[in-house]
Amino acid sequence: MPTFTISNSAATWPLPQFNTSHFPHTPPVIRHHSLLHTRAFKIHCIPAEPLPSLQQPKHDQSIIGGGGDDGDSGDGGGDGGGDDEEFGPLLKFEAVMRESKARGVKLPPDMVEAARITGIREMFLLRYLELQGSSWPLSFLMQHCSMLRNRMLADPSFLFKVGTEIVIDSCCATFAEVQKRGKDFWAEFELYAADLLVGVVVDIALVGLLAPYARISKPSLSKGLLGRVQHACAALPSSVFEAERPGCKFSVMQRIATYFHKGALYGSVGFGCGIIGQGIANMIMNAKRSIKKSEDDIPVPPLLQSAALWGFFLAVSSNTRYQIINGLESLVEASPVAKRVPLVAMAFTVGLRFGNNIYGGMQFVDWAKWSGVQ
């Protein structure tokens, strides 16, 4: 190993090995100096191994929106180029307020907060402004009912699907009730009305729970275990086959978890509506029989067993069928033909949901007979 010597001293030091690969034109360093005139100097040694190459830090795309792998909820935006083409650019607070002021529309507080924090996608803002120009009561509901508003922003045909489901189910139920009750239909009209009312509630839940929605603002989460559960549920898609939207990227496990999560919600709705609907029906039947009894009276259905059947039926059968319906509707709506002619998607929705109601009604009758409830 080479050395260098300092005069007036018997000591020698090993010369540090310099990595000349970094300094190809630097001559060898040799220093001769008297200790009496030595001044402080500093030698910077470069390690033998090459320095790692410097890389520019990667900037992650901002995930603005609810659901997906991050689980946060924002306005439903994102920075991807494809998102800009489909959903428009992400408008900042000044642009959002300028556009809403030009339309003479006052934004709800959660949209104002989302615009200030993250911004709002242009498509969502324009849809909201158009819906605010609708007649009452839709404009009122857009302003004060965030659940309906967010679903209308993500899917403008949401109300059409809800209305289709209610009309088809009510017509099928009415036809079945008339055939079943015959000449006693008007005498037992209260039972029919109670069943119809509960059916409308169930129809709204069946469509609404699986409908895609725009995540405008972050939901309020509790602390502790409940907060973690709420955070995990907020990260799930609205349905198993929901299309990925800005800031909403879903894994296979999340989609599987969605099936069981929605099944639990459907089961709760079915059990609750079964308790209410069957409870009203049983109360009316018992009141009539206390006044006049007949040998032709059918047994009063058991309340809890009937409610449990409704819950199980919605959690398993309805959940599976409506998940498939949502997936098929999404495929048709995304097709070039449906985008050019929207009536194609609307006709497909009507036909698909009509067939589903017929099949679901027949299946429920079979399940009720197998369970001994009817």
Q: What are 278-324's pLDDT values in tens digits?
A: 888 888 888 878 887 776 667 778 889 989 999 999 999 999 999 99
pLDDT value at position 53? 40
User: Is residue 75 a contact partner of residue 121, using CB atoms and an 8 Å limit?
Assistant: yes
- Asked whether the predicted pLDDT for residue 75 surpasses 50, the reply is no
pLDDT value at position 192? 83
Lowest mean pLDDT among 64-68, 104-108, 299-303, 327-331: 64-68
Lowest mean pLDDT among 51-60, 244-253, 254-263, 336-345: 51-60
Nearest to 262 by CA among 310, 322, 214, 202: 322
Residue percentage of the chain with pLDDT more than 70: 73
If you average pLDDT over each of 83-92, 136-145, 220-229, 249-258, which comes out highest?
249-258
Tell me the two tokens of residue 94: 């000044």
- Asked whether the predicted pLDDT for residue 62 surpasses 80, the reply is no
pLDDT value at position 126? 92
> What tens digit of pLDDT does each residue of 98-107 get?
999 998 888 9
Stretch 74-96: mean pLDDT, rounded? 64
- Asked whether the predicted pLDDT for residue 159 surpasses 90, the reply is yes
Lowest mean pLDDT among 52-56, 223-227, 232-236: 52-56
- For the CA atoms of 171, 172, 174, 180, the dihedral, rounded to the nearest 10 degrees, stands at 160
Length, in residues, of the chain: 374
Contacts 24+ apart (CB under 8 A), 368-374: 368/309, 371/305, 371/309, 372/305, 373/301, 373/302, 373/305, 373/306, 373/309, 374/301
CA 118 to the chain's CA centroid: 18
Residue percentage of the chain with pLDDT more than 90: 39
pLDDT value at position 326? 95
- Asked whether the predicted pLDDT for residue 148 surpasses 80, the reply is yes
Average pLDDT, the chain: 79
- Paired strand residues for 34: 7
3-class state of residue 295 by DSSP: coil
Lowest mean pLDDT among 57-71, 159-173, 312-326: 57-71
Task: For residue 247, count CB atoms less than 10 angstroms from its CB and return exposed for 0-12, middle for 13-18, buried for 19 or more.
Answer: buried
CB atoms within 10 A of CB 29: 11
**Which residues touch 229 (CB under 8 Å, ≥6 apart)?**
none
- Asked whether the predicted pLDDT for residue 373 surpasses 60, the reply is yes
pLDDT value at position 204? 94
Under DSSP, the state recorded for 314 is I
pLDDT value at position 27? 52
Lowest mean pLDDT among 76-80, 83-87, 88-92: 76-80
pLDDT value at position 67? 46
Stretch 149-155: mean pLDDT, rounded? 91
pLDDT value at position 68? 47
In whole angstroms, give the CA distance from residue 83 to residue 247: 9
pLDDT value at position 372? 80
Lowest mean pLDDT among 19-23, 308-312, 369-373: 19-23
Q: Between 273 and 72, whose confidence is greater? A: 273
pLDDT value at position 54? 37
